């Protein structure tokens, strides 16, 4: 009954943590493609191929349902995967839609036509590849009209977090917020469009100001998955064990993940 969770590196652990708390009886298999991180500076073709390979590995672990806990993969690869690659008996879901449903105050699975919403000025902080894909704007347009989105590609932030350099990560976040506010001085809401960014949420909030509502993904994705599985329990796969897989060096990744999550996390090699 395992569910797969994929990320290019460590950021998806923030989503996994929320999923495990919301669904304590479900085993989760986490796949971090640390050897190829970060994805945010790769081509869409690279991202597609790497994401498909990781998803196949999770299917091999008995995870018929895979969550792309990576905004870059969700933005650059998911639509093509669903249209051309995923077989009918498997599912691959992204992390954008629950966030947009929360922003637009729609119920899970509400497919009614787009409508006016209260928030008109939204700041989006994401990797360069996610920003370039315009996937967030595309998904938002299916649900809301009249929303101005200003996107800021946050180069360097993921690298700094993955390297454990919190001082550099904080400096970069403040610089990126400053750059965005020069173009949109008064955002009403901010989207943290990368699963690494919740680790810097307090810094984003401080730089943006207390009057800006900051939306982060982990709990929203967990709630959305719980709802999905209540409607589609047959998508729980045959896997029985929770585990952490990485394409990187397991000892090094485990050490960084433990620092990252402030609790012991032990990875094993994805391809033995």
Q: How sure is the predictor about 111, in pLDDT bands with cuts at 50, 70 and 90?
A: confident
Residues 187 and 115 in one domain: yes
Tell me: the pLDDT tens digits for 239-253? Answer: 889 999 999 999 999
Which CATH number goes with the domain that contains 265? 3.40.50.1860
Q: What is the pTM of this model?
A: 0.87
Residues 145 and 201 in one domain: yes
Bridge partners of residue 237, in order along the sequence: none
Residues 191 and 233 in one domain: no
Q: In the chain, how many H helices and how many E strands?
A: 12, 12
CA distances, 99 to each of 40, 94, 102, 105, 165 (Å): 19, 10, 5, 10, 27
CB atoms near residue 78 (< 10 Å):
24
Range of the domain at 131: 97-215
End residue of a domain, out of 179, 194, 215: 215
Residues 210 and 244 in one domain: no
Bridge partners of residue 269, in order along the sequence: 246
Which positions ≥6 away from 41 have C-beta within 8 Å? 127, 128, 129, 155
Residues taking part in catalysis: 70, 194
Residues 225 and 142 in one domain: no
CA distances, 116 to each of 37, 101, 221 (Å): 38, 13, 24
Residues 136 and 198 in one domain: yes
Residues 90 and 222 in one domain: yes
Residues 133 and 225 in one domain: no
Q: Average pLDDT over the chain, rounded to whole?
A: 92
């Amino acid at each position: 009954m395992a569910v797969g969770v994929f990320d290019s590196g460590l950021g998806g652990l923030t989503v996994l943590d929320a999923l495990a708390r919301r669904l304590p009886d479900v085993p989760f298999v986490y796949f971090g493609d640390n050897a190829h991180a970060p994805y945010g500076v790769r081509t869409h073709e690279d991202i597609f191929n790497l994401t498909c390979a990781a998803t196949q590995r999770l299917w091999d672990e008995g995870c018929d349902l895979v969550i792309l806990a990576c905004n870059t993969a969700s933005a650059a690869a998911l639509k093509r995967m669903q249209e051309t690659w995923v077989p009918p008996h498997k599912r691959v879901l992204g992390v954008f839609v629950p966030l947009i449903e929360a922003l637009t105050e729609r119920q899970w699975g509400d497919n009614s036509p787009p409508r006016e919403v209260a928030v008109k000025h939204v700041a989006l902080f994401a990797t360069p590849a996610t920003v370039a894909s315009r996937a967030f704007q595309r998904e938002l347009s299916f649900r809301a009209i009249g929303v101005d989105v200003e996107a800021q590609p946050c180069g360097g932030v993921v690298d700094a977090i993955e390297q454990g350099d919190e001082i550099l990560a904080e400096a970069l976040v403040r610089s990126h917020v400053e750059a965005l506010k020069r173009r949109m001085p008064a955002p009403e809401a901010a989207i943290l469009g990368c699963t690494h960014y919740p680790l810097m949420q307090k810094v984003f909030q401080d730089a943006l100001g207390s009057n800006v509502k900051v939306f982060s993904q982990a709990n929203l994705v967990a709630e959305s998955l719980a709802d999905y599985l209540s409607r589609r329990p047959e998508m729980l796969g045959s896997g029985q064990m929770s585990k952490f897989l990485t394409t990187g060096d397991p000892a090094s990744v485990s050490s960084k993940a433990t620092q990252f999550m402030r609790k012991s996390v032990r990875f094993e090699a994805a391809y033995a």
